[in-house]
Structure 1
Amino acid sequence: MFTSDMAESRQKTVVLQDLSAAIFGEILRYIYSGNLNVSMDKVQPLYQLQAASLLQLDYVRDTCSSYMAMNVEGSNCVNLYKFADVFSVDIVRKTCLQFICRNFVEIASSEKFCSLSVSQLTEIISHDDLDIKEETTVWEAVVRWVQHNREDRLQHLPSILPHIRFNLLTSGNIAAILEHPLVREDPGSSKAIRNVVKKRNPNLKPRLGMTMEMAILSNTETDELLFMNPQQGRYISCSYKPEDIPEVTALTATNDNNIYILVNEYDGLDQLYMFRYNHAENFWGHGGISKVSKFKRVHSGLLTHWNEFLVEVDHVLYYGAADLGEGNTLVRMRKYNWQMDQWQGCSQLQIDGTESSELSVALSCGAQIYFIMTSAMHRYDPSQDCWCERTPPNMKSPYSHFTAVAMGTKIFYTYLEFTQMMVYDTDSDRWQKLQGWPNPGNRSITHTPSLFVLENQLHILLEVYDRDTPGLSSDYLVYVYDRSADAWRDLKATLPKKEYIAHGPSCPVARMYLPYLRGAQKHITAYACQH
């Protein structure tokens, strides 16, 4: 204000309107002492001064916004959200919105929720991350908001209703809403509901609280997928028609909850097609992505290994192939350009001196892709299109098979016997040994274990048999890792008695909307649920 071309910059005396002497005293103390005392009763008036705008004190503005963001709770989240919305304090507004979404049932029942403006209300109820079990919760919140000031707010109901996800409501729910007095008294509201129901917008996803994280396994003998959450005791099997789920080359679950598979289809083995899982219909269809040419093998013979993979980094899909031969390994990749609908080449990796018996995995961690073997490890940086060498696990084992999964900035790794596990810190480029399977009894693992991260916890799936009881079929065990105790706990999982495998170095995990799995069965031949 004082350094710009505003009139105040040329006046000897400037009257600051709506300025508390006590709050301005805090500003003066900061100017002379360098200390700023912030509390919840003072932080909004301090920011409202817009010290950065009026007095050009950026530190005051930044300190106040950070303080508000760190102190968001149930009693103040609505007021802070409204304040941040008015003054465009993005960090506070985002934090409040996340808190309200995570605690929507509680916040929507409060008196303060009814003080939101119509634009603030619609922003909140439009959010994917509402932690609610049923969409009727959103409708009930809207009713409370309207009835708080019925005379002024009823006119806004037709513009609010399209933000309720009627595709997630039963026909009975919709009929009850149409019969509600608020709707019956306003022809515009009734028309708005009927239009929304008629359009059935497929892009309206289930809310976060309606979904459950589930690991995905394939039946080795049939076209069946198993969706499981052992912590919740949920195991759902869906059998698909053979023509609806072709032979899978690679599979990945992305950060935005899409599940993609690369398949061989139609015109020979030199082209791969991308299929995407349709959550609402519970079937696999073409993902709207152009086909990609399959990499040709360079090495051949008994002592070679071929590993194709599909990973995602920052919403970009990467198809790759590792060609492991005697003495060297070649890794090639292509990335998908969404704007141009084409696959583009990436720099390749040549590793010399590798053993012919080694296997490999590729996975994404953070913004990079890691290619891991027992004796070699490299990291690909998409921003630079280059590879760099990293410290390999060097875990000694008579078996070459292993499993690996990323969680945060760490990569967890173990081999067939699972007598120990290793964790890699991507920041320090160091490996650390952790506890392996406690193996109660005389049991052996029959196939390579599969690590997976479910609800931010590390899990592992084991297929084992009892060596003291020959002839019996194998059993599946699922353990969860307690990092603080460096110990594994048996979840007493009850998987169906079938043969399952994971596609890739770990079990892919995605958030599934259970009513879709139960209700959309026209594309599957069988459905079974146990819990």
Structure 2
Amino acid sequence: MVFEELRRNHYLCDAVLHVEGTQFQVHKLVLCNCSPYFRSLFASWSTPDDNIFDIPNLSADVMRVFIEFAYTGVVTITADNISHLFTAADRFDVTGITQACCEVMLESLSPNACLNTLIVANNFYYPELRKRVFSYVLKHFEEVVRSPDFVQLSVEDFSKIIKHDLLNVRQESAVFEAILIWINHSYHYRKRHISHLLPNVRLALMDSRYFSAHVIKNEMVRRNRKCNAYLIRTMKLMLDIGMEGMPISLFPDVFIRPRVPQAVLMAVGGWNIVHPTNHIEAFDNRAKRWVPVINSDNTPRAYHGAVFLNGSVYIMGGFDGTEQFCTMHKYNLVNRTWQEVAPMHISRCYVSVALLHGCIYAMGGFDGIDRLETAERYTPETNQWTMIASMNEQRSDASSSTMNEKIYICGGFNGVECLPSAESYNSLTDQWTTIADMSNRRSGVSVTAYAGELYAVGGFTGLARLKTVEAYNPETNRWRPVPSMTNPRSNFGIAVLDEQLYAVGGFNGFTTITCAERFDVRTGVWSDIWDMEISRSALSCCVVHDLPNMADYCSSRAALAESEEEVDVPSVQ
């Protein structure tokens, strides 16, 4: 700070910068240390006697920020100056400021601002900034399409975005409609690009009714000969898939290759007919397939809990056929390594688990002797478990979920009977509060928050396995009936993925099962999905998302390398 004090007192300054009518007295040595531009200006582009320099095409305010950074290492970046500051910092090669501007731009990314940042990254050649902004655009594409800057995308950037396997869209129709929006912004000039853009849509993944009504009948598409070839290939693919009944992930054609999802459902462990298993598999909803997950942990376990937090799956408690566990293991999904972390205070088989405010909660269970009402909380930052208030009832084989900043736990077994009761936990007051009973006794129930309510699915009454479902409204403190599952099941996995509720595996009263099904609240319909590789009950499910290596947990995309290549479609004569 000595040089800054000298500058403020105009002492020993040996250069004057003229910027937009303002004079700045500076020390050449300080600016040379900050910027190669000024090093060249003072050492190569002038004589040692020169001490007055005009700096054109720069505002005095931006120059003031540069000088402050050169002397103090501190840069003041605001929404008003960031654009000019970044441009000037790139011009003067002040890497400290350009890096700071990049970080600010990344921190403030939004669907409305990201495309302007992408243009900046392209124009000034900042590949790392472009890479991260491009990833943001892929993830938030459907929101980005609604931004004013979307129609300003170049055809090259737009094409790269919509052809990418990591493009996050629920339906391929959204990609086609984005093309229409972009072209219609300047129809007469851009309509010629339809033959270049349409091959990037996974046409054969579209709903057949939408494809017939909106793509085939689109006048711009119909009048383009190359597009007609794409449509013919798509119709043939749709026919082949329907006849062969094969998973779409096995078809190599780019028109039907599923995009890599942002999230997958992971099924961990469980009881496979006569013994527990360590098997892990993930459900890729885009490819509609279960994928085995590489797993170096040889510890089989059932009746455990699993949660996804900060890129890792935490697995706690459970039973290996002999011992009830208090241990917890952490599986880092990025580097695929296992780590044993702090154990719980109590062994907990048939445990219920939930996430709240970045902490893991383990509630109830069976320690080998007693059914438990105790509960504890794990804080990842300190790697410590802390006991919290006990529940109002002993509960093993219950299920829990987080909703509206509270944890809800339902059903279970108290050592004597299956329970219809439920309660909620407030972490701010460390108190459990009883809520309305379910309409059925449910042990081995699965509970999750879904569509603004708490869903209690399946379970065991003490006499029979259930396929019934009920939903709890916290505002009315009432349960209501929901359409039943296709299959009765208890001790199964549950999760919400892409706004649909999944029920996975379980015990149907006779055997462990492989089947899985999902519920769409909009239609009120349960539908079967692809079976798991192995039958199992007492498994635990969680949804993992936003991993840098998401493709590792998805079905293999045939010819994935083609995603950056042009699609070769024969012309139609």
TM-score range, shorter chain: 0.5 to 0.7
Q: Which amino acid aligns with 2:280?
A: T
SS in 2 for 1:432: strand
Quote the offset at 1:218 in angstroms: 12
1:317 is aligned to 2:354: no
CA distance in 2, matches of 1:98, 1:410: 28
1:462 is aligned to 2:499: no
Q: Which amino acid aligns with 2:224?
A: D
Give CA deviations for 1:170-225 in whole Å, capped at 9, x if unaligned: 222212212212212322223234435534755414866xx9x88989999xx9xx
SS in 2 for 1:495: strand
Stretch deviating more after TM superposition (367-376 or 194-203):
367-376
Quote the offset at 1:108 in angstroms: 1.8
Give CA deviations for 1:336-365 in whole Å, capped at 9, x if unaligned: xxxxxxxxxxxxxxxxxxxxxx99878886
Structure 1 unaligned regions, length at least 5: 224-244, 260-276, 290-311, 324-357, 518-522
1:425 is matched with which residue: 379, 392, 399? 379
Question: Which of these two proteins has the greater Rg computed from alpha carbons?
Answer: 2
Give CA deviations for 1:23-67 in whole Å, capped at 9, x if unaligned: 33431233245442222232122222344xx54533212221122
Provide closer, same or farther for how the CA distance between residues 7 and 158 of structure 1 changes in structure 2, counting only shifts above 3 A.
farther
2:100 is matched with which residue: 42, 63, 84? 63
SS in 2 for 1:422: strand
In structure 1, the residue matched to 2:489 is 500
In structure 2, the residue matched to 1:159 is 196
Quote the offset at 1:375 in angstroms: 8.0
Paired residues for 1:343-492 under 5 Å = 377=327, 391-395=342-346, 401-404=350-353, 410-416=359-365, 417=371, 419-438=373-392, 445=395, 447-451=396-400, 460=409, 462-463=411-412, 483-484=427-428, 486=430, 491=453
Give CA deviations for 1:134-169 in whole Å, capped at 9, x if unaligned: 432322221111122234423332232233232332
In structure 2, the residue matched to 1:336 is none
CA distance in 1, matches of 2:303, 2:270: 23
Identity of aligned residues (%): 15
- 8 Å CA contact 1:502–1:508 kept in 2: the answer is no
CA distance in 2, matches of 1:457, 1:91: 40
Q: Which amino acid aligns with 1:500?
A: R
- 8 Å CA contact 1:362–1:372 kept in 2: the answer is no
Quote the offset at 1:113 in angstroms: 0.9
In structure 2, the residue matched to 1:511 is 497
* Greater relative contact order (Cα < 8 A, sep 6+): 1
Quote the offset at 1:116 in angstroms: 0.5
1:186 is aligned to 2:164: no
Question: How many residues are matched?
Answer: 398
Q: Which amino acid aligns with 2:79?
A: M
Paired residues for 1:65-464 under 5 Å = 65-89=102-126, 93=130, 96-97=133-134, 100=137, 104-126=141-163, 134-175=171-212, 176-196=214-234, 198=237, 199=253, 201-205=255-259, 249-252=277-280, 258-259=282-283, 280=287, 316-321=294-299, 377=327, 391-395=342-346, 401-404=350-353, 410-416=359-365, 417=371, 419-438=373-392, 445=395, 447-451=396-400, 460=409, 462-463=411-412
Q: Which amino acid aligns with 1:393?
A: M
Quote the offset at 1:317 in angstroms: 2.4
Q: Which amino acid aligns with 1:426?
A: P
Provide closer, same or farther for how the CA distance between residues 419 and 66 of structure 1 changes in structure 2, counting only shifts above 3 A.
same
Quote the offset at 1:101 in angstroms: 5.5
Structure 2 unaligned regions, length at least 5: 1-34, 48-52, 238-252, 319-323, 366-370, 436-452, 459-465, 468-487, 504-513, 525-573
Quote the offset at 1:123 in angstroms: 3.9
- 8 Å CA contact 1:2–1:8 kept in 2: the answer is no
- 8 Å CA contact 1:69–1:91 kept in 2: the answer is no
Q: Which amino acid aligns with 1:252?
A: I
Stretch deviating more after TM superposition (38-47 or 405-414):
405-414
Higher strand share: 1
In structure 1, the residue matched to 2:565 is none
In structure 2, the residue matched to 1:233 is none
SS in 2 for 1:318: coil
- 8 Å CA contact 1:281–1:516 kept in 2: the answer is no
- 8 Å CA contact 2:501–2:520 kept in 1: the answer is no
CA distance in 1, matches of 2:187, 2:494: 48
- 8 Å CA contact 1:122–1:163 kept in 2: the answer is yes
- 8 Å CA contact 2:270–2:303 kept in 1: the answer is no
- 8 Å CA contact 1:183–1:189 kept in 2: the answer is yes
- 8 Å CA contact 2:167–2:260 kept in 1: the answer is no
CA distance in 2, matches of 1:36, 1:30: 5
CA distance in 1, matches of 2:135, 2:401: 26
SS in 2 for 1:144: helix
Q: Which amino acid aligns with 1:162?
A: P
- 8 Å CA contact 2:501–2:519 kept in 1: the answer is no
Q: TM-score with structure 2 length normalisation?
A: 0.53
- 8 Å CA contact 1:404–1:413 kept in 2: the answer is yes
In structure 2, the residue matched to 1:27 is 66
SS in 1 for 2:80: helix
Quote the offset at 1:422 in angstroms: 0.8
CA distance in 1, matches of 2:138, 2:57: 34
Stretch deviating more after TM superposition (139-148 or 430-439):
430-439
CA distance in 1, matches of 2:114, 2:308: 35
SS in 1 for 2:159: helix
1:36 is aligned to 2:22: no
Provide closer, same or farther for how the CA distance between residues 173 and 395 of structure 1 changes in structure 2, counting only shifts above 3 A.
same
CA distance in 2, matches of 1:78, 1:119: 13
- 8 Å CA contact 1:214–1:512 kept in 2: the answer is no
SS in 2 for 1:320: coil
In structure 2, the residue matched to 1:11 is 45
Provide closer, same or farther for how the CA distance between residues 71 and 203 of structure 1 changes in structure 2, counting only shifts above 3 A.
same
Provide closer, same or farther for how the CA distance between residues 50 and 31 of structure 1 changes in structure 2, counting only shifts above 3 A.
closer
